[in-house]
Amino acid sequence: LRPQLGTPWADGTASISQCAIDPEETFIYEFKVDKPGTYFYHGHYGMQRAAGLYGSLIVDVADGEKEPFDYDGELNLLLSDWYHQNVQAQMLGLSSKPLRWIGEPQSLLINGRGQYNCSLAAHLIPGSRTCKRRRGECEPVVLRVLPNKTYRLRIASTTSLSSLNLAIEHHKMMVVEADGNYVEPFFVFDMDIYSGESYSVLITTDQAPSSNYWLSVGVRGRLPQTQPALAILNYQPNSPSKLPSSKPPIAPTWNDYAHSKSFSYKILARQGTPKPPTNPVRQIALLNTQNKINGCTKWSINNISLVLPPTPYLGSMRYRLKNAFDDRKPPENFAKDYDVMKPPKNPSSIQGSNVYKLEFNSTVDVILQNANALSYNVSEIHPWHLHGHDFWVLGYGDGRFSKKDVTKFNLRNPPLRNTVVIFPYGWTAIRFVADNPGVWAFHCHIEPHLHMGMGVVLAEGVELVNKIPKETLACGMTGKMLMRNHLP
Ligand SMILES: O=C1O[C@H]([C@@H](O)CO)C(O)=C1O
């Protein structure tokens, strides 16, 4: 339950757990991979993930151990989205007054590959009306399988913006893993995947062996303007270029949230998963709102929009440096009369460092409360990702969270995860134990939203952290501290 236990400086979050790695520098991440599962890694500075800095990280079970399910082979799908505009220009637009929103991505990608109708963009390519692309570049990813076998599909999403839905023509999927935790198996014909999440599903290749089949990934939660990404489930020995006889499966309507909720609600812990402690000592409610600061559009948590300091928290807190960040205690709650169904009455907000100090080893509940954005009748999906911990998902609800909703929490088999979604106008309740010494980001995994301030920082047991590698401290005030200590 404690990723990066004992190595909080190897978590990779610039300004939180370490200094950003400068151009041409090398930084070696050393940490213990103590839990088998489907994961991925990515840059956590600016919007480098959207620029393509990511990859899969699959942890196998230790020698002599067994997964609680059987399969004959495995396939790995890392899903992402792709913009033609470079991320510096995207970030500039997002920080501009007025906001220049990035819009929808031009493609969805499966293992870095996607489809794009280049002729649509011909007018954008100087001096050319033709579409220049290398042969094969836009071909669907081929997933080679044998008939009548069971395959484990590992699926993760590192999208910048898009929420996704995945389906395979004629093949039902048995969901068995979520974010590196085994779940009680259940069958679906399509599944939602939010940025930051990972799953394993088992499929059986029991369809007519003379055909190939489409796997399709489409957009959810935002009006789709991006064509689905396609892969081909290629039954051997058919040629991979033998096109499936029917059309690719179509994602459910983008705003069919009942469909998305029914999928999320089905995810429950597999028997034998650790259960949550019953008595939280603290409940923090985090209201997610879209706001304005000096004419710029931001996202705020309890009316504070996250900005990160030049000196990473892990170092400045461990060495008790003064004035390294604004350490005012952020609010634990939001106004009783705040109407989550309407745009904010007073949209103006402030910036801050949003550091929640947690008592070491204490059990904490967080209620993530969604609300209306700046425009009427708009509330978006936000997948929240917690570093340094798995948490139990205790429940979801529509509208504003009320005290009596606590009685409906699932304490029997809540799933353990590290990413969970808040649905439009809804709330999601999670519980975790603050038992991992370090400073941890907790944020919306939609990269432009994090860039616009949608996150908080959790600090626990920082005094217990020892031997922070100097390479993680060589910037800001900890950089100065290192120089003072080493100059004659
Ligand atoms: O953060 C966002 O900004 C835009 C829109 O709200 C303002 O243009 C959008 O769709 C977001 O998700």
End-to-end Cα separation, the chain, in angstroms: 44
Q: How far, in Å, from the CA of 295 to the mean position of ligand 1?
A: 14
pLDDT band for 131, please (50, 70, 90 cuts): low
Q: Does residue 215 contact residue 167 with C-beta atoms inside 8 Å?
A: yes
Q: Is 380 close to ligand 1, i.e. is its CB under 6 Å away?
A: yes
Q: How far, in Å, from the CA of 332 to the mean position of ligand 1?
A: 26
Q: Is 101 close to ligand 1, i.e. is its CB under 6 Å away?
A: yes
Mean pLDDT of 349-362: 98
36 SS3 class = coil
pLDDT at 129: 47
Give the domain ranges of the chain.
69-266, 282-486
Convert the pLDDT of each residue in 69-86 to its tens digit.
Answer: 999 999 999 999 999 999
Domain covering 282-486 in this structure, CATH number: 2.60.40.420
Convert the pLDDT of each residue in 96-106 to its tens digit.
Answer: 999 999 999 99
pLDDT at 116: 85
Mean pLDDT of 164-171: 98
Mean pLDDT of 316-324: 96
Mean pLDDT of 39-64: 98
Mean pLDDT of 407-426: 98
Whether the per-residue pLDDT at 139 is higher than 90: the answer is no
Mean pLDDT of 392-414: 98
Mean pLDDT of 347-371: 98
Cα radius of gyration rounded to whole Å, the chain: 23
Whether the per-residue pLDDT at 128 is higher than 70: the answer is no
Nearest CA, atom 9, ligand 1? 101
pLDDT band for 123, please (50, 70, 90 cuts): low
pLDDT at 138: 73
Most distant pair of Cα atoms in the chain: their distance: 77
69-266 belongs to CATH 3.20.20.70: no
Mean pLDDT of 148-153: 98
Ligand 1 atom closest to the Cα of residue 299 is: 1
Whether the per-residue pLDDT at 41 is higher than 50: the answer is yes
Convert the pLDDT of each residue in 181-239 to its tens digit.
Answer: 999 999 999 999 999 999 999 999 999 999 999 999 999 999 999 999 999 999 999 99
What ipTM does this complex have?
A: 0.97
Nearest CA, atom 4, ligand 1? 101
**Are the folds of 69-266 and 282-486 the same?**
yes
DSSP secondary structure, 99-138, as one string:
-----S-SEEEETTEE---GGGGGGGSTT-SS----TTTT
Q: Which of 3, 11, 6, 43 is nearest to 29 (CA)?
A: 11
Alpha-carbon 141 to chain mean position: 23
pLDDT band for 354, please (50, 70, 90 cuts): very high
Average pLDDT, the chain: 95
What stretch of H or E contains 385?
strand 382-386
